[in-house]
Amino acid sequence: MNLVLLGLNHKTAPVALREKVAGLLTDLDTAYQDLQNQPALAELVLYATCNRVEGVCATAEPDAAINQIRAFFVSHDISEGDLDASLYTHQDRDAVQHLFRVAASLDSLVIGEPQILGQIKEAYRQATRNRATGPILNRLLHKTFSVAKRVRRETGIGGHAVSISYAAVTLGRKIFGSLAGKTAVLVGAGEMAELALEHLKSDGIGRIIVANRTLERGLQLAQRFGGEAVSLEELADQLLHADIIISSTGSPQHLLTRDQVKGAMRRRKYRPLFFIDIAVPRDLDPAINDLDNVYLYNIDDLKEVVEFNWQRRQQEAVKAERLVAAETVKFLEWLQTLEVFPTIIALKEKADRICEAELEKTLKQLPPLTEEQRQSLEVLTQSITQKLLHDPIIFLKGYHHPQRPTRELDTVRRLFNLDLDRDTELTEED
């Protein structure tokens, strides 16, 4: 059985094409129904993220499987030329290693981002619900999940902020030590604010307040994260309760001035206040940073953090790649045992048949034996058979050439005439 993986991602295909192909998987039940009718696709898992669409299958006919998945893609308003220019195909070792790298976020737009593993887990759940998987892909996907967890546990690939929003929250955590029980005010309700809220929530922030020009939009975002919403006109009042203020609006003028913050600090009894201004142009008066116990960071400050951490993640990615390579070898060794097992059985069965036949001939030529003597002869022949087969079986289970993984298998089958024996049996049965 072979493994085949087809797909396209942010490196090979423009977003418009990725959206079209991903659209085919919005109704996964129908997609699996269509593809499971294809004879070459013995087992199948499909998954789509914002940056990739891929399918991995177990098949006895890799060329046919590739053509069948490709035909599924091009039959839905997608031109063959566009698809072929963007589609990549991996088989066996390369397929396993690619899937491990994807789940470990080594092939992501942002190395180390954690969302991809959850997306693949959900895709696997849907594949099993559609009964599209079997023993090979079940084993492969479970191994994929364990490899991804090992990468995050044993390397620092996910431990360094590489987005502006994540860097902002990381800085806040460094200043306060812990965000538990703290109050965060998000100024703006756009993508940056949403990402910051996700990181704040995962870090255990105590209270969330969203201040936005459009109160309705602020309410929608706040409710998603169990927070509250206020209007921008109320922002100055929130200074009395806030610990962290993250601002990311498109305002052409400062939303908070030095004097506003200075007055609030007196009423706060100079309890520390942390500002992060990730807007361009800036939302906050730079002079705010001159006040005692006030910490103001802008987007340039955070970019330095992001660049430094990006380099750290790249270093950790080297360790992760080494782990992925080792786990790929282990999985392939298991997969090869599936191919070797029928040959080992055939080898033992042939040896047993020969021994039984020769033993019967010998017994006919001997004077009558006691039951004990007969059993002793049977044990002797079985012992000789086991010792003779030991080395061929070890040979089958041992090293396999990376370009010709079935070379040893073919050698043993030819050497012991196993295929000819099987053909003879089939002919006699017919």
The string of DSSP codes covering 235-299 is: HHHHTTT-SEEEE----SS-SB-HHHHHHHHHHTTT--EEEEE--SS-SB-GGGGGSTTEEEEEH
Confidence of residue 426 (pLDDT cuts 50, 70, 90): very low
The yes-or-no verdict on residue 164 having pLDDT over 90 is no
Provide the pLDDT for residue 405: 56
How far is CA 314 from its chain centroid? 18
Within the chain, all domains assigned CATH 3.30.460.30 are found at 2-154
Provide the pLDDT for residue 69: 92
Kindly state the average pLDDT of the residues 10-23.
85
CATH of 164-307, one of 3.40.50.720, 3.30.465.10, 3.30.565.10, 1.10.340.30: 3.40.50.720
Within the chain, all domains assigned CATH 3.40.50.720 are found at 164-307
Residue 103 in tokens? 């789940």
Kindly state the average pLDDT of the residues 170-185.
85
From 19, 39, 50, 415, active-site residue: 50
Provide the pLDDT for residue 402: 54
Provide the pLDDT for residue 414: 83
Which residues are within 8 A (CB) of 248 and not within 5 positions of it... i.e. 6 or more apart? Answer: 186, 187, 188, 190, 192, 193, 196, 278, 279, 283
Residue 71 in tokens? 């035909």
Which residues are within 8 A (CB) of 349 and not within 5 positions of it... i.e. 6 or more apart? Answer: none
> How high does pLDDT run on average in the chain?
86
50 labelled catalytic: yes
Topology annotation, domain 2-154: Beta Polymerase; domain 2 (3.30.460)
Provide the pLDDT for residue 97: 96
The yes-or-no verdict on residue 312 having pLDDT over 90 is no
The yes-or-no verdict on residue 429 having pLDDT over 70 is no
